Chain A
Amino acid sequence: MNIIDKKLYKLNPVYLAEYEDLIRSHSQFGGGASENKFIQAKSFSNVYEFYIYAFFIGLYKNKKVEIIKEDKTKSFWELDNWKPKELVDYLIICAIAESEFDMAAIEQMEEKEAMEHIKLLKQEIEKYANGGLRYINDKLEEEPELKDDDMFFISLLSEAGM
């Protein structure tokens, strides 16, 4: 395993702090939530599940949100801890496909430069995941009754590629 292999799975994508409530209300968090979160069953059992889902929605809908330095963000777990592993690899495939990541060039880069280059993947993942989160958030704000629809996330996926 070379340094790229190691660093790739240590990437720790973030989400914009403004989507904290959205994520908390749909995925099981590690505590500190109000009683309300228990009234509705959670669609996602982990934040990374919601994040992966949002990434693909952003990707399919071509919704991107660039995260800039000034943005207030929240981090959670690094890719190494996300599951299922095969799905995480598929997400990386898509990030490589869509980004400026140069597979051949990185093989010739010194560590520092290579680390910077890998960040392109992190940014790509964040771009689509936050794009997906914004899309989901907007949908729920437009039609608040969707919050009670058990099938909302499945339906959104069905229409995502259309």
Chain B
Amino acid sequence: MIIRSISMKNFQCYFGEHERNTFNFKEGLNLVIGDNGGGKSKLYDAFYWVIYDQIFNSDIRMFQGTKSYKEKFISDKAKSECVVGNDLNVEVILIAKTSQDKKFKLTRIYKAKKVSDREWECNSSSRLLIDECKQTNWVSVEKSKHEGILKLVIPEHLKPYMWFQGEQVDGLMDFSDKSTLTNAINLLSNITMYDDLIDIVKKGNDTSAKNYRSAQNKLTKNISKSKLLNDQLNQIRANISSKSNDIEINEANLQISKDKIEELIGQIDDAEFKADLKKKHEIAKSNLKRSTDELTEKYNGLHKKLFNDSWVLKHSQSFFDKFSIKYNNYNDLHNKLLNSGNNREYELPIDVPQPIYVSKMLEDEKCLVCNRDAKKGTEEYEHIEYLLNRKNKNIEENIFINDCSSLFSKLYNNGLGFKQLISRIDTIIADEFEEIQRLRNSIKLNNSEISEIKNSFEQLIEDDNSENIVKSFRTHEANREKYESLLNADRKVFENLKIKAKEVEIALDKLVEGSVDKVIEKSDKVFKDLFEVVKSTRNEVYDTLIVELEKKANSLFTKMTERNLAIKGKIKLKKLANGNYIPEIVGSDGYILSNPNDSNIILVKLSLIMAIIISRGKWSENYSLILDAPTAKMAEKYTYGFYEALGSKFSQSIVMTYDFINVEQRNLLKSFNVGNVYTIESFFPNHDSTDNNDLEVLIKEVQL
């Protein structure tokens, strides 16, 4: 709801009737300007009390209910003027309007009776009345609807982000708590719905996988093997889960080391040199990765080359030569047997040369082997004709029980085909090794460059800081290397376990006789796919939210800081290994700002809070932002940017502040989207500023 007015009767320092303690508010930036002790926080208390029946006790930094406060709610002046035996009422009335133009009046009343000069008989609780404006009359709303209307004023989950005091900001956006931003993002988005969906689909996935496996087991043709494989599969899955945890832990540890290194580098003063080193570091890292990947690929392919490129035949030529002699002898014997009984001592095997060429010779009347004429009718022509018409004597006369000539000829020709390749294998292997050496050199070079850069960083830190910091840098660098190596090993094992699980699943599938019920099979597949889809969708939605939030927070941050020319960096939301995000302020060189001042930190926090609220358009349009002293820790030049952003980004904001106490400063407000501006100050009619029994608050509306 948009708040129209708040008025108080005898509420803490606000002595007297509602008429003299009323603030009216418009849309835009509403300011209540007052010095310390002027009643600003008491006004914030009034907002809070009317809705939640609680006020913030700054002594113990906690919200306390009416029951604990009792007569302390009541204005000292009202208490002192009250006659023993009389009752005193404390009241706060808040009038607010919904986006549908419904107007409600919320009245909280607390009653106490003065029984002696110092003693009060107090009700244990306050009473809330709610009226709705119907045409021109206020009509009482039944109690059962109160809760719903209170939520319309400010929903409970938004309260911490839309109604807060400056001193609460640290707790609200505690950067040391890694889940702070995640909680805020959960609030601003419907991401928890995706998480719920993942849980539901996971349960379905587990059940359908179990059903499928159980159906398969019933159809197995080998119960004992199936049991063995199932046990194996369960063990592998347990190992996968355990390895996944190891990966998570090592990723978190690696992130910590990287953060610490960045933080320490951030402490170096020489920004230009630092940026140069960072650039060189990135190039060397990228080159190193490329060479390492190429080398890994080479190694992985190397053993395949033993077979696919026949490297394994490297020293085999002499054995082929030996075979050739054996084959030659065999061939002689074979042909001798084949030609026995013929006049010719030596004859070509059947179909050599191939009949197609022999026919061609007859057609051309020429021998294509010796290039001599073989005219029809001559002895030469007849000889060629004989070659074509020869019968396989072996088949006809059964010379060989097992004619292996084709087989041995195939082996011989195959061996012959490798001859050229074998003579080149040494050169091919040498070239491959040369390439491997080149990659190794590149890795060595880049590693040494990275090491040099690390030393330069160390030197810079040493120049700027104490020896302890250098030691710390070295420790974190060593940790980074250790966790990177552990992670690589873990990931390799993890991937291999997944392959192994798949292998066992395939082995189990092979044991199945018949087919599993189609519904069960389909259900398993659908749930598997669905599980992957919901997980990836959730991550995409979440990452998009982060990008938008970072963009909005930076836009606010820039607006708030534009009047200050000092280096202020920009907000970067960094993803942690466990999926949480934390905000960082980074300089133009990409490094975390080492000592951002308090003003910067509070601005980042406020930027994020405001970005969260405006990310949900309706929140900043439908609800009033109520802040008490939000700029308490902010440098003066930032505050104007902050107020300007409030005026332009929220339909209504009500800010209690000591900014603009100085009348001249208020000129600036003219350019902002301002609603009503009030000043408040303590007023003692009897001029004794030490006497609280004389305290009233003087409220004045300011005309800009």
Chain A contacts to B: CB under 8 angstroms: 2-5, 8, 30-33, 35, 38-39, 41, 43-45, 49, 52-53, 56, 59-60, 83-84, 86-87, 89-90, 92-94, 96-98, 103-104, 106-110, 114, 150-151, 153-154, 157-158, 160-161
Contact = CB atoms under 8 A, between A and B. Distances in A.
Given A31-B507, A98-B322, A87 B307 contact: yes
A86 B414 contact: yes
Given A31-B507, A108-B401, A110-B401, A56 B312 contact: yes
B418 interface: yes
Kindly name the residue among B303, B330, B401, B417 whose own CB sees the greatest number of chain A CB atoms within 10 A. Answer: B303
**From DSSP, what is the main secondary structure of chain A's interface residues?**
helix
Interface residues of B, number: 55
A142 B303 CA distance: 23
Interface stretch (B27-35, B157-165, B402-410, B659-667): B402-410
B496 A93 contact: no
Interface of B: 229, 232, 236, 239, 299-300, 302-304, 306-308, 310-316, 319-320, 322-323, 326-327, 329-330, 333-334, 400-404, 406-408, 410-412, 414-415, 417-418, 429, 489, 492-493, 496-497, 499-500, 503-504, 507
B323 A96 contact: yes
A153 B303 CA distance: 8
11 contacts: A31-B503, A32-B232, A35-B493, A43-B303, A89-B414, A90-B316, A90-B415, A93-B319, A94-B323, A103-B404, A154-B429
Nearest to B503: A31
Nearest to B299: A150
A89 B408 CA distance: 10
Nearest to A7: B402
Given A98-B322, A153-B303, A160-B314, A35 B330 contact: no
Contact of A104 (B300, B333, B418): B333
Contacts of B500: 33, 35, 38
B628 to A, nearest CB: 60
Contacts of B493: 35, 38-39
Contacts of A97: 319-320, 322-323, 326
A120 to B, nearest CB: 13
A84 B307 contact: yes
Kindly name the residue among B312, B323, B333, B493 whose own CB sees the greatest number of chain A CB atoms within 10 A. Answer: B312
Contacts of B492: 38-39
Contacts of B410: 89
Contacts of B319: 59, 93-94, 97-98
B237 to A, nearest CB: 12
B334 A104 contact: yes
B306 A153 contact: yes
A110 to B, nearest CB: 6
Contact of A103 (B326, B417, B429): B326
Given A39-B496, A59-B319, 4 more contacts: A90-B418, A92-B411, A97-B319, A108-B402
B177 to A, nearest CB: 38
B307 to A, nearest CB: 6
Contact of B414 (A31, A90, A98): A90
B311 A157 contact: yes
A5 B313 contact: no
A96 B334 contact: no
A2 B312 contact: no
A138 B417 CA distance: 35
A96 B232 CA distance: 44
Nearest to B429: A158
B461 to A, nearest CB: 36
Contact of B312 (A3, A43, A52, A114): A52
A4 B323 CA distance: 18
Nearest to A103: B330
Contact of A94 (B239, B316, B327, B497): B316
A160 B239 CA distance: 40
Given A38-B497, A89-B414, A104-B330, A4 B404 contact: yes
Contact of B400 (A93, A107, A157): A107
Contacts of A60: 314-316
A45 B300 CA distance: 11
Nearest to B332: A104
Nearest to A2: B402
A86 B419 CA distance: 13
Contacts of A35: 236, 239, 493, 497, 500
Contact of B404 (A5, A38, A90): A5
B313 A90 contact: yes
Contacts of A160: 314-315
B624 to A, nearest CB: 61
Contacts of A41: 300
A53 B404 contact: no
Given A35-B497, A109-B401, A93 B307 contact: no
A117 to B, nearest CB: 10
A150 to B, nearest CB: 5
A87 B322 contact: no
Contacts of B334: 104, 107
B407 A53 contact: no
A96 B303 contact: no
A97 B231 CA distance: 49
B240 to A, nearest CB: 10
Kindly name the residue among A31, A107, A114 whose own CB sees the greatest number of chain B CB atoms within 10 A. Answer: A107
Nearest to B493: A39
B305 to A, nearest CB: 9
Contacts of B236: 35
A96 B407 CA distance: 12
Contact of A53 (B306, B315, B316, B327): B306
Contacts of B320: 90, 93-94, 97
Contacts of B407: 2, 4-5, 8
Contacts of B306: 49, 53, 153-154, 157
Contact of B329 (A39, A90, A104): A104
Contacts of A107: 334, 400-404
Kindly name the residue among A49, A90, A114 whose own CB sees the greatest number of chain B CB atoms within 10 A. Answer: A90
Kindly name the residue among A33, A41, A160 whose own CB sees the greatest number of chain B CB atoms within 10 A. Answer: A41
Contacts of A56: 312-313, 315-316
Contacts of A110: 401
A53 B305 CA distance: 12
A157 B497 contact: no
A92 B408 CA distance: 10
Contacts of B322: 97-98
A129 to B, nearest CB: 12
B313 A87 contact: yes
A88 B486 CA distance: 41
B74 to A, nearest CB: 74
Nearest to A92: B411
A110 B400 CA distance: 10
Contacts of B415: 89-90, 93
A151 to B, nearest CB: 8
A4 B303 contact: no
A61 to B, nearest CB: 10
Contacts of B229: 31
